[in-house]
């Protein structure tokens, strides 16, 4: 739980921005290539 809380604190602005845009803008277009770059 401490890890999750720390992660949420670090990314608080990004999480809040997601809700502020009311899901109108998705970062899914970039998530796919990012995940492929991370995988071995």
pLDDT per position as a tens digit, 1-40: 888 888 888 988 888 887 777 766 667 777 778 787 887 6
Angle of the 12-20 helix axis to the 2-10 helix axis, nearest 10: 70
15 CB-near residues (< 8 Å, 6+ apart): 8
According to the model, what pLDDT value does residue 1 have?
Answer: 86
According to the model, what pLDDT value does residue 25 have?
Answer: 66
Calpha distance 19→1 (Å, rounded): 22
Assigned token pair, 13: 């602005």
DSSP state at residue 40: -
């Amino acid at each position: 739980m401490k890890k999750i809380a720390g992660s949420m604190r670090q990314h608080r602005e990004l999480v809040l921005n997601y809700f502020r845009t009311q899901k109108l803008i998705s970062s899914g277009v970039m998530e796919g290539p990012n995940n492929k770059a991370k995988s071995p």
